[in-house]
Amino acid sequence: MSEKPVYKKKDFISDQEVRWCPGCGDYAILSSIQMAMTKLGKKKEDIVFISGIGCSSRFPYYMNTYGLHTIHGRAPAVATGLKLTNPNLEVWVITGDGDGLSIGGNHLIHALRRNVNLNIVLFNNEIYGLTKGQYSPTSSVGTVTKSTPFGSIDEAFNPANLSIGAGATFFGRTLDTDPKHMMEICKQASEHPGVSMIEIFQNCVIFNDKVHDEYTNRKTRDETTVFLEHGKPLIFSKAKNKGIRLNGFTPEVVTIGENGVTELDETKFDLKKSISLGSNIKSAHFRTIISGWGHATPADSDGRACAEWCFRTHKIKIDNTDKFSHYMGPIGCGSNPISNQGGNWAPDRAGWCPGMVVPVRIDKFDSDLSNSTINFEYYFRPWTNNFAGTPGYNNKNAYNAISTFIVLKSDQQIDAATVSN
């Protein structure tokens, strides 16, 4: 196996003069991507940058790699063909909000849904820059430009919503003022086995200056920007005391330490809900899917070595009273249809098995719930992690994945249930 090449940033700088307007955010993006290329372990000869038309599309000239400057909006189509022809290439598509979301919209959507292993970088400055300042698909309602002198009346495209709706398997958003974050997003995109879509908030100093100032200005950015990190709570602000939680199905900003809000209870994990029900309900039941695994002492009270093999009983409480029980016990892992897989697949887990469908637990109410409000709580049986602090044993947490729905039936029209904290 050959060693990974070692590069410096200068190895990715071409001999072409960089020609963007002074102060353009593209300079920072170019520098960050050139640095990111040094972290990928790819040979320069295996990297290709493909662009369409626009200010951003000058990018391939400035990268000391292979590159193609194609026609307006067609970069994703050309990149798809190149990747299918030579799957070993590291293919990057450089586009803008005009090139990628207007004339190239369909090509972008189909590249995302096909999940070809491309890395697509969209520079979003909410304006057409190269053609001198017309409104773009991402311009906000009311934006005054040369083509909308009385303000845009169109709702703006949201590249994140568009990407996820089209089936993109990776979406990342970053800022042209945050080179460290840009490099990390590019590295993660390259490592992702499928299509990656990166949106960069980029500033056009000539035609749409400070359009992203709310997120890039040092005075305000800490209060308006949330960095999403896998497995970490949605905590932000300069004091790190604000978080985002769901109020029913609506996200809301809360301040940690006020009104009983704590990082652990409110912004990570909330299993208490108030459910208000309408009239004409004939029957009601909960549908719950839950799998759990955790760590405890081999001298567990069930007499078994633990981790995901801990058998547990959890409960649904209604109005603070135990109503339904869920025994997390064996479901027959030995009958797993994927029986020839390697590893320890056969022993029974706590309510789940590798490669098998997690069972749906149905709990029926035996009383009329019309015009009532019930207080729901999912209660996990407490456990003690006696391995915490044990040398060589670093996992100090237990994990549970759970989803519960309330299903209402009637022979007449009924109102949807209202869920709140």
Return the pLDDT at 249.
66
CB neighbourhood size of 209 (10 A)? 12
Percent of all residues in the chain with a pLDDT value above 70, rounded to a whole number: 85
Query: With 50 as the cut, is the pLDDT of residue 385 above it?
Result: yes
Q: Which range (33-42, 156-165, 293-302, 393-402) has the least confidence?
A: 293-302
Query: With 80 as the cut, is the pLDDT of residue 232 above it?
Result: no
Mean pLDDT of 101-113: 95
Q: How far apart are CA 182 and CA 25, in angstroms?
A: 12
The more confidently predicted of residues 294 and 176 is 176
Model confidence band, residue 332 (pLDDT cutoffs 50, 70, 90): confident
Note whether 118 and 59 are same-domain residues: yes
Note whether 344 and 357 are same-domain residues: yes
**Could you give the C-alpha distances from 311 to 303, 351, 357, in angstroms and in order?**
10, 8, 18
Query: With 70 as the cut, is the pLDDT of residue 316 above it?
Result: yes
Return the pLDDT at 398.
59
Assigned domain for 303 exists: yes
Calculate the dihedral angle through the C-alpha atoms of 338, 342, 344, 347, rounding to the nearest 10 degrees: 30
The more confidently predicted of residues 396 and 349 is 349
Note whether 171 and 209 are same-domain residues: yes
Assigned domain for 78 exists: yes
Note whether 75 and 166 are same-domain residues: yes
Mean pLDDT of 45-70: 97
Note whether 168 and 256 are same-domain residues: no
Query: With 70 as the cut, is the pLDDT of residue 118 above it?
Result: yes
Assigned domain for 391 exists: yes
Note whether 253 and 398 are same-domain residues: no
Assigned domain for 142 exists: yes
Note whether 26 and 169 are same-domain residues: yes
Note whether 54 and 168 are same-domain residues: yes
CATH of the domain at 71: 3.40.50.970
Mean pLDDT of 336-358: 70
Q: Which range (12-16, 238-242, 377-381) has the least confidence?
A: 377-381
Q: At CA 322, angle to CA 317 and CA 328, rounded to 5?
A: 85
CB neighbourhood size of 338 (10 A)? 10
Contact 38, 7 (CB under 8 A): yes
Assigned domain for 2 exists: no
Query: With 50 as the cut, is the pLDDT of residue 305 above it?
Result: no
Mean pLDDT of 35-57: 96
The more confidently predicted of residues 188 and 299 is 188
Query: With 90 as the cut, is the pLDDT of residue 138 above it?
Result: yes
Return the pLDDT at 263.
59
Note whether 188 and 159 are same-domain residues: yes
Note whether 33 and 57 are same-domain residues: yes
**Angle between the 105-114 and 75-85 helix axes, to the nearest 10 degrees?**
30
Whose structure tokens read 């409104």? 135
Return the pLDDT at 341.
56
Note whether 16 and 164 are same-domain residues: yes
Note whether 94 and 235 are same-domain residues: no
Q: Whole-model pTM above 0.95?
A: no
Assigned domain for 4 exists: no
CATH of the domain at 309: 2.60.120.230
Q: Where in the sequence is the domain holding 249, given as residue range(s)? A: 227-263
Count of structural domains, the chain: 3
Assigned domain for 238 exists: yes
What's the mean pLDDT when you consider all of the chain?
86
**Closest listed residue to residue 130, CA positions, set 58, 61, 74, 67:** 58
Return the pLDDT at 303.
45
Mean pLDDT of 393-421: 74
Label the pairing between strands 90-96 and 119-124.
parallel
Assigned domain for 42 exists: yes
The more confidently predicted of residues 259 and 82 is 82
Mean pLDDT of 250-265: 74
Percent of all residues in the chain with a pLDDT value above 90, rounded to a whole number: 54
Kindly report, residue by residue over 151-203, the tens digit of the pLDDT: 999 999 999 999 999 999 999 999 999 999 999 999 999 999 999 999 999 99
Model confidence band, residue 264 (pLDDT cutoffs 50, 70, 90): very low
Model confidence band, residue 401 (pLDDT cutoffs 50, 70, 90): confident
Return the pLDDT at 299.
47
